[in-house]
C-alpha cells in the first residue's frame, strides 16, 4: 500500500518516515511506496525496502493536493502547518496554509471518487483549548482557542469529522501535547525553554528558565508522538463513532519535576547549567496554556504516553545523542 | 447609525426589520438607515421613520459583502443560511453559503480598515451540538455536530471569536433554540411537527404527531428570538471576554407539556385535532437532537427566554392571528 506524508520535511515528518522505513508496514499492512511532500523537497529516508518519492510544493496551492491523491494513497499523514507564532503574525498565511490547505486536501480526496476513502491522520494541537481551564481538561470540554493557529486547528477538526461522517474520508485527528525534548538548536518559541532546560544541559550548555518552577505543562516525547501517529493509522475507527478528534495522552509535570528528572539522569552538574531569568512576557503566554488533561477516550483506544519524564529524557539521549 | 440585515427576507429577518422600524433604535442608538439583503429582494418594512434599502444578491459571491459593508454599517445581523436539510442534501452549496459566505463577510469587514469594527450578531444554532449529551448541556460542553449544517455553524463560531479577538470585528454568536410556534404553512422539516401540533389546531386544522409525547425539546418563540438579536446588538462585549458564542436560553418541554399548554389556551377541541402517527425516521432524527441546556452565561448577560409554553402559544396568537 501507499503512504503519503504531507509536511514530510519537519521534525515529526522525518522521524515518522524513518520509522516507516524501519517497520516496513503500518497498521499491519506492508508499505509499497512512501511519498513525502513539503514546501521544500523532503529528504528521502535511507535504506527503504520500498519505493520512496519526494515532492516539493505549496500545499495551499490549488492542484497540489489533487496531484498527491491521484495515486490513491491508503494512509495519509497530514502534518503540514504554519506554527503558532507565525500564524499569529501573518493572519492571511496562517488561514491559507492551516485552513484552506486542509480543505483543499479534503476536497481533493472527496473528488477522487470510486469508493476511495483513505485513512487520514491529522495532527491537531492542545492549542485548540483556551483558558480558563478546569484542573484537568476532559474529553468533552469545549474548544475556545486563543490563537489563530488554535482556531485553524479546531476548524480542521470539525471538517475532518464532517467529511468522515459523510463517508468521504476516514479521519482521525490527534491533539499532540508539547513535544519534549525537541532536538536541534535553541529557538525563540515561547515554549522553547521546556526542551531547552533539558537539551542544553545534556549537551554541556547553559539554558535559560524564564518562568517559575511551579509552571505545569503537558508533554510527550517525539517517540511517543510517532507512536500516536502510527496507532491512529491502524485504529479501528468504528470504535470512535462520529467523534473523530482525540486529545492524546501525555505527562503533566511541573518545571521542578522536569529538573528533578534531569538530576536523576545527568546529575547536579547538568542542573547547575539552568539559569533562572524571569521573563514576564513568556510567563503571560505560558499562563494561558493548558497544563493537564484527562484523555480517557484516547487511553481506552490504546494510545500510550511516555511512562515518566525521566523516560522522556532518556529517549532524547538514545534517539538524538546515540546513548 | 446604519443597520444591515443579511438574510433579511426570511421569517426572522422580516420580524427583526419590523421591530427595528417600531423601535427606531437599537442598543440605545437611533437608526438612520436600514439595509436588507437576501438572495431574493427583501420587502422593505412599512412605515419606517428612517431610510430603508433592499439589496438582492448571492451572499457567497465575492464582491457582495464588500458592497454591503462599504457604507460602514454599525450593526450587522447575519441571519443568512442554507437550512439543515438542504445543507445535508447539497454538500457544496451548504459549505459555500454557510461557511464561505460568512468568511467573505468577515474578510470584507476586516478590509474596510480605518478602525472600522462593527457589532456583528451571528445566528448560530443548537445543531452545533451532537449526541450523546448530558441531561442539560452546559456552557463548556464541546461542539460535535452531526450534520454539515451544524459543522458550518460551529466553524463560523470559531471564526467569529478569532476575528473578534484580533480586533477586526465585534462579534456575538447566539445559538438559537428551535423556533416555535413558527408561522406559515406546514413544512416537511423533521422539526416541523413541534410548531405544527400547535399552529394547525389553533387554525382548526388537523396536525400529525410523528413522535412519542415523551420527546423533549428546546424552544423559543419568534418574539424571544428577536429579543435575543436586539440584546446581542446592544451588549457590552467586554463582559464576554474572548468567548463570543452563547447558547441562548429557551424552554425545555416535552411534547406532552406542549399539548397540555395548548389545552389550557385553546381547549380540548384543539387538542383533539392532533393525530398520532408514529414515524420512525423522524423519531431517529429527533433522538439525535439536544433537548435541554443550562445557559448560565447568556442568562447572566441578560438574555431572556419565554416564561412558559403557554406564553409561546399566546405570542403566536397575538403576533400571527391578531388575537
The mean predicted confidence, pLDDT, of chain B is 96
B143/A142 Cβ within 8 A: yes
Mean pLDDT of B135-149: 96
Question: Domain spanning B2-177+220-249+292-306: which CATH class is it, in words?
Answer: alpha beta
> What are φ and ψ of residue B32, in 5° steps?
-100, -25
pLDDT 10s digits, B167-194: 999 999 999 999 999 999 877 778 899 9
Fold of B192-216+252-291+314-320: UDP-galactose 4-epimerase; domain 1 (3.90.25)
pLDDT given at position B32: 98
Phi, psi of B14 (to 5 degrees): -70, -40
Nearest CA in chain B to A143: B142
Nearest CA in chain B to A149: B162
pLDDT value for B187: 73
Q: What is the pTM of this model?
A: 0.97
Alpha-carbon gap, residue A255 to B306, rounded angstroms:
51
Question: Does residue A46 register a pLDDT over 80?
Answer: yes
Alpha-carbon span B30 to B23, nearest angstrom: 9
> Which 3 state secondary structure label does DSSP give A137?
strand
Q: Indicate the residue of A130, A155, A161 with minimum beta-carbon distance to B242.
A: A130
Pairwise CA distance, residues A310 & A292, whole Å: 18
Q: How far is B293 from chain A (nearest CA, A)?
A: 15
Does A149 qualify as catalytic in the annotation?
yes
Cβ atoms of A233 and A26 closer than 8 Å: yes
**In this complex, which of B91, B130, B243 lies closest to A144 when CB atoms are compared?**
B243
User: Which residues of A are less than 8 Å from B130 in CB distance?
Assistant: 242-243
Among residues of chain B, what percentage have pLDDT more than 90?
93
Mean pLDDT score, B258-263: 98
Measure the CA–CA gap between B130 and B142, rounded to whole angstroms. Answer: 9
Catalytic residue among B95, B149, B163, B316: B149
- Which of B290, B287, B220 is closest to B248 using CA atoms? B220
Q: With 90 as the cut, is the pLDDT of residue A64 above it?
A: yes
Distance CA B59, CA B39 (A): 7
Q: Give the whole-angstrom CA distance, residue B159 versus residue B124.
A: 12
Cell matching residue A95: 488561514
- For the residues A156-178, what does the mean pLDDT come to? 98
CATH superfamily ID and name for A2-177+219-249+293-306? NAD(P)-binding Rossmann-like Domain (3.40.50.720)
Instruction: Evaluate if residue A241 carries a pLDDT over 90.
Output: yes
Please state the separation of Cα A198 from the chain's center in Å.
20
ipTM of the complex: 0.96
Chain A residues bordering chain B (beta-carbon distance below 8 Å): 91, 130, 139-146, 148, 151, 154-155, 158-159, 161-162, 165-166, 242-243
Confidence of residue A150 (pLDDT cuts 50, 70, 90): very high
**Measured between beta carbons, which residues in chain B are less than 8 angstroms from residue A162?**
145, 148, 151
Rounded-to-integer distance, Cα B118 and Cα A284, Å: 29
Q: Between A91, A144, A243, which is nearest B144 by CB?
A: A243
Which of the following CATH numbers is that of domain A192-216+251-291+310-321: 3.30.70.100, 3.60.20.10, 3.90.226.10, 3.90.25.10? 3.90.25.10
User: Domain map of chain B by residue range?
Assistant: 2-177+220-249+292-306, 192-216+252-291+314-320
Q: Copy the grid coordinates of residue B321.
A: 392571528
Amino acid at each position: 500500500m501507499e503512504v503519503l506524508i504531507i509536511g514530510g520535511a519537519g521534525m515529526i515528518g522525518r522521524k515518522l518516515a524513518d520509522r516507516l522505513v524501519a517497520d516496513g508496514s503500518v497498521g499491519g499492512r506492508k508499505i509499497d511506496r512512501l511519498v513525502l511532500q513539503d514546501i521544500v523537497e523532503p529528504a528521502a529516508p535511507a535504506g527503504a525496502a520500498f519505493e520512496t518519492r519526494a515532492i516539493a510544493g505549496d500545499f495551499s496551492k490549488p492542484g497540489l493536493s489533487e496531484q498527491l491523491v491521484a495515486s490513491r494513497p491508503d494512509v495519509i499523514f497530514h502534518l503540514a502547518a504554519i506554527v503558532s507564532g507565525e500564524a499569529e503574525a501573518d493572519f492571511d498565511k496562517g488561514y491559507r496554509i492551516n485552513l484552506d490547505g486542509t480543505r483543499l486536501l479534503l476536497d481533493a480526496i472527496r473528488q477522487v471518487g470510486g469508493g476511495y476513502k483513505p485513512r487520514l491522520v491529522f495532527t491537531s494541537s492542545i492549542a485548540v483549548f483556551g483558558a480558563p481551564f478546569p484542573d484537568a481538561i476532559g474529553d468533552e470540554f469545549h474548544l475556545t482557542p486563543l490563537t489563530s493557529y488554535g482556531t485553524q486547528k479546531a476548524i480542521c477538526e470539525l471538517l475532518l469529522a464532517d467529511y468522515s461522517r459523510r463517508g468521504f474520508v476516514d479521519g482521525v485527528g490527534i491533539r499532540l501535547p508539547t513535544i519534549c525534548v525537541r532536538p536541534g538548536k535553541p529557538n525563540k518559541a515561547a515554549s522553547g525553554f521546556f526542551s531547552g532546560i533539558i537539551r542544553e544541559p545534556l549537551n554541556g550548555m547553559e539554558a535559560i528558565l524564564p518562568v517559575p518552577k511551579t509552571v505545569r505543562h503537558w508533554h510527550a516525547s517525539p517517540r511517543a508522538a510517532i507512536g500516536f501517529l502510527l496507532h491512529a493509522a491502524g485504529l479501528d475507527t468504528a470504535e470512535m463513532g462520529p467523534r473523530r478528534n482525540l486529545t492524546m495522552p501525555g505527562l503533566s509535570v511541573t518545571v521542578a519535576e522536569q529538573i528533578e528528572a534531569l538530576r536523576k539522569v545527568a546529575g547536579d552538574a547538568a542542573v547547575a547549567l539552568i539559569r533562572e531569568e524571569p521573563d514576564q512576557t513568556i510567563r503571560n503566554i505560558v499562563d494561558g496554556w493548558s497544563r493537564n488533561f484527562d484523555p480517557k477516550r484516547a487511553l481506552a483506544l490504546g494510545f500510550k504516553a511516555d511512562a515518566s519524564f525521566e523516560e522522556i529524557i532518556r529517549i532524547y539521549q538514545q534517539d538524538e545523542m546515540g546513548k
